[in-house]
Amino acid sequence: MDAKKKGMTLLAKQRAAGWAFLTPAALMIAIMSFYPMVRAFMISLQKGTGANMQFTGFSNYQRILADKVFQQSIGNTFLYLIIQVPIMLVLAILLAQLLNNRDLKLRGLFRTCVFLPCATSLVSYALIFRSLFATDGLINSVLMKLHILDQGYNFLGNALSAKIVIIIALIWRWTGYNMVFYLAALQNIEYSVYEAAKIDGANGWKTFWGITVPLLKPTIIMTFIMSINGTLQLFDESVNLTKGGPANTTITMSHYIYNTCFINVPNFGYASAMSFLVFIMVAVLAFINLKVGDTRD
Amino acid sequence: MTEKKNKSAIQRRLIPTYIFLIIVSFISVFPLYWMISAATNTSTDVSRGRILPGGYLAENFKNLLAQQPLWKALGNSFFYAVLTTVVCLLICSIAGYGFEVYHDKAKDKLFSILLLAMMVPQVATMVPLFQMFSKAKLLNTAVGFILPMISTPFMIMMFRQNARAFPVDIIEAARIDGLNEVQIFFRMFFPTMRSTYAAAGVIAFMNAWNAYLWPKVIMTDNNSITMPMLIANLITGYVTDYGMLMCGVLFCSIPTMIVFFVLQKQFAEGITGAVK
Amino acid sequence: MAGEQYAKDHPGFSVNVIETSSDDCQTKLTTCANAGDYSTMPDIVLMQDNSYQKFLLSYPDAFTDLSSMDINWDDFGALKQAYSMKDGVHYGVPFDNGGCIACYRTDVLDEAGYTVADLTDITWSRFMEIGKDVHEKTGKYLLTSEAAGGDTIMMMIQSCGANWVDDEGKAYIAGNEVGEKCVDIYAEMIQNDVVKLVNNWDEYISTITGGEAAGVINGNWITATLMSTEDQKGLWEITNLPKVDGVDSATNYANNGGSSWYITSNCQNVELAMDFLAKTFGSSTEFYDAILPETGAVACYLPAGESTVYNEPNAFFNDQPIFATIVEYSSHIPAFKSTPYHYEAREAVNTAIVNIVGGTDKAAALDEAQSTLEFKMTE
């Protein structure tokens, strides 16, 4: 009787500690993200600017249906998502796996090199990609020397190639970033698991798919959600590399929303409505991902 | 003897890996090289696409110092980034630990809800956030700078995922030893998860260091200039001096690289032994 | 700078200058204003002329009416005043001149057998003839222009005193006769290698520094960029713009960019701020003479153009007195109907042009632009 009572209080204590541990973070998120988001939702039901906002109901959401440029931006963004995210994540896992090998020399140096792109400031990254892919840039010079091209190709001036440049730039910049998470997670896989696999005669490729990938699953889900989120809110590359051009064929949703707020005559009601749509898209995709991936319980 | 043979055999088998890594490293490092090289050239040479280093670094640096408060910006950025990183790691790791170790239905639900916050687009919340901070008289303060950045669902998620590998046995054993829950976190979890902290630290530092839009909006006086703002100022006006710009960009990029280089050993070298 | 000048006569006065890039300044003002909190705005702001109308439309109470200011407004060109006016009320003191100039490389022209005089007071069709010839003989482009966010098409239509909106401010792209002529010429020039269409500002600059462009047409602030290419010193000369063929109101002058000073409603001492602006930017040629060498900012203030400082020959431009010339040009720029939807219109028309060059039917492309702009104008 006594023991049971004591056990209960211990459990209650632990439970209380659990809640106490996550309260500061949860509170901050509620104040810094959810409250402003609720406010933004209210704004999305209004039109006008500054102090002259009026309630208009869902007309801003209806407006999306008539906005061809925004619809185009949705298409562009999803194209980036579908092509870039899988390539990037597979590459990141592969690199993390290679760089986790204890027999490899100069590991620290290689790791730092692979990570460098995301530490490079956006300004220089955008500048260099623009100059690399310029009509008289390095890529064109090399292709011309190899006689693949007769004259410089305007990579950023054509819809398809401009999209490809953006995808390449994204992979270049974010692969190392994702690799960091995989490297950290690989530490949690016991080395003995690999030893065992080796004894069983599994080759590198088999261990990779048979052991590494399943064990990295939580991290893969996490990076996947993060990448979906990052890509659907993609902004810098569209603004800095192509300005959304040629003729809006590379513009992203966030870029268009930003223009609506800060470049064009400000329309925060409409911008908030579009933001909400982005939010819902990300949330839906993320939860599909979690449901498919989370098999712990 | 055999061991030596074995080693060289292993290295031989790793040759394709080395080649692959060298190619990837080259592609990754090239823009950095270009940036350094551009910082040593005149503006005109940079825009003409010169790739070789020049002898103009001192001049660019001198111009930069004359035009912009470089040291102040570096100092500010460093202060804000370190402050944000420390507070962020503390709050988020405790929360991640809390969610994982004491997980039950209610907490899992809460976690899912918090995850939603990650997906909130920044453009949408900027005006309401600004209103809040202005009312709370937090404009132009360090607190105002760091508050929106210190608790992110992403960091919590990362600590939560990694806490799964933290053995329950250790916690049980510590409880029997009479440690309370807070002590268990700080004495057991904290030292064990060094690799996770290091990785999270790199990411948090990088995000805070590069933060631009929000700081720009709430910091209104010249004294609180940060490196990204300084870079933006260099592109202002009708003429951009590309050589000087790249010199500034170099100063903006180096700290993150150093932080990474210092911490990468922590999160990539084997510390699995400690967990057992 | 201005603060120092003013403080000489008014001890105890000091100005705290906050430097912010133009885009960021707009982001910040928009955020503050939309949050309904003007308290973080500085007393006086310098703002892009192309942006001001949209701010005035969206946040009418953010700026101070300057009607009572002691200043002779006609010392500024009519167009410059119009940028910062609404319903006959002045809100801004014009400062930075955006008057357009055409700059040409005399060495390249020489190689093709032309002089800058051949390009002065001409029409765009003549420009195109010369441009084709220059491209054939030298492989260079007589004009370089940005595809997205480029201003060439805006300068063309505005040099005719027209715009992409009608007198009531409604979208007027499809069926706009003057506009269509501009689009025709511009598209034809791109297709005939007279104009090099580039993707962004860096490429724009590198066509100049790299010597690929034999000519540049832009707001006069472009001279600062040209002058940073020191090995082209003495090779450039400036003149006026080509004008659009077959349009009665066409001129050889236009404006692109520039900026004016505004007093925000957050200013606690409006009288002092007004006096400061009036005594410096609003009336002092000595003041403009003093800031020209250091900032390269060319005045909108017309009397400034008569001073000796403004008339000094400029070695980079083959000893032309470019600053006086620019001020003189800016007095000829025709006024046009300005619109808060400047950037939307520019974006829509540039998109149409890229599509036309890419093979889309002209009428269809312009109709599309028309409906895009109309859409942006509705709430």
Query: Cβ separation of B153 and A29 shorter than 8 Å?
Result: yes
**Residue B238: per-residue pLDDT:** 62
**Closest residue to A264, CB basis, from C197, C344, C379:** C344
| Cis ω before A246 (30° cut-off from 0) | yes
DSSP character for B53? Answer: -
> CB atoms < 10 A from the CB of A184, how many?
27
Tokens of C372: 């895009």
Contact A151, A132 (CB under 8 A): no
**Mean of the pLDDT values across residues B56-78?**
85
Name beta bridge partners: A54: A47
The angle subtended at Cα A115 by Cα A111 and Cα A120, nearest 5°, is: 145
What confidence tier does B63 reach under pLDDT thresholds 50, 70, 90? Answer: confident
Top residue of C29, C38, C50, C199 to mutate, by most chain A CBs within 10 Å, is: C199
Interface test with A, best of B123, B186, B194, B233 (most A CBs within 10 A): B123
Q: State which amino acid sits at residue B151.
A: S
Residue C67: what pLDDT?
Answer: 82
Place of tokens 């057991």: B188
Residue B182: list chain A partners with CB under 8 A.
Answer: 17
- Residue C25, pLDDT score: 75
Hey, which residues does C299 pair with through a beta bridge?
A: C96
Q: Helical H runs in B14-121?
A: 15-39, 43-47, 57-67, 70-101, 105-118
* Residue whose token pair is 């439309």: C57
Query: pLDDT tens for residues A219-253?
Result: 888 888 888 888 888 888 887 778 887 888 889 88
Q: Does residue A279 carry a pLDDT above 70? A: yes
The mean per-residue pLDDT over the stretch A140-154 comes to: 81
Whole-angstrom Cα distance, residue B32 to residue A121? 10
Is-contact C340 C51, C-beta < 8 A? no
Mean pLDDT of all residues belonging to chain B: 82
Exposure b/e, B108-130, CB count within 10 A at least 16 = b: eeebeebbbbbbbbbbbbbbbbb
Tell me whether residues C40 and B134 touch, CB distance under 8 A: yes
- State the pLDDT at residue B125: 83
Q: Does C224 touch chain B (CB under 8 A)?
A: yes
pTM: 0.85
Q: Which of residues 176-235 of B touch A (CB under 8 A)?
A: 180-182, 185, 195-196, 198-199, 202-203, 206, 210, 228, 231, 235
Q: Strand C44-48 and strand C85-86: pairing? A: unpaired
Q: How does pLDDT run along chain C (379 residues), one tens digit per residue? A: 566 666 655 655 666 666 666 667 777 788 888 777 787 778 888 888 888 888 888 888 888 888 888 888 888 877 888 888 888 888 888 888 888 999 999 999 999 999 999 999 999 999 999 999 999 999 999 999 988 777 899 999 999 999 999 888 889 999 899 999 999 999 999 999 899 888 878 788 888 888 888 999 998 888 888 888 888 888 999 999 999 988 888 999 998 888 888 888 888 888 888 888 888 888 888 888 888 776 667 888 888 888 888 888 888 998 999 888 988 888 888 888 888 888 889 989 999 998 898 888 999 999 999 998 998 888 6
φ/ψ region of C149 (left if φ > 0, alpha if ψ in -120 to 50, else beta) reads left
Interface of B with A in 248-267 (CB under 8 A): 249, 252-253, 256-257, 260-261, 264-265, 267
Tell me which of B229 and A295 has the higher pLDDT.
Answer: B229
Tens-digit pLDDT profile for residues B202-217 = 889 988 888 877 887 7
Interface contact flag, A243 C30, Cβ < 8 Å: no
Is the model's pLDDT at A4 over the cut of 60? no
DSSP letter at C19 equals -
pLDDT digits 0-9 by tens, B86-141: 999 999 999 999 998 888 888 888 988 888 888 787 777 887 888 888 888 888 88
Sheet hosting strand C44-48, strand order edge to edge: C44-48, C259-263, C92-96
Query: Which residues 88-107 of A have a C-beta within 8 angstroms of B?
Result: 95, 98-105, 107
Scored b (16 or more CB within 10 A) or e, B135-162 reads eeeebeeeebbbbbbbbbbbbbbbbbbb
Position B43 pLDDT exceeds 90: no
Report how far apart, in Å, the C-alpha atoms of C163 and of each of C80, C153, C339 are. 16, 10, 9
Strand partners, C237: C104
pLDDT for A161-209, tens place per residue? 889 999 999 999 899 889 888 887 787 666 667 777 777 766 777 777 7
**CB of B136 less than 8 A from some CB of A:** no
The string of pLDDT tens digits covering residues A91-135 is 999 898 888 877 788 888 888 888 888 877 776 777 778 777 877
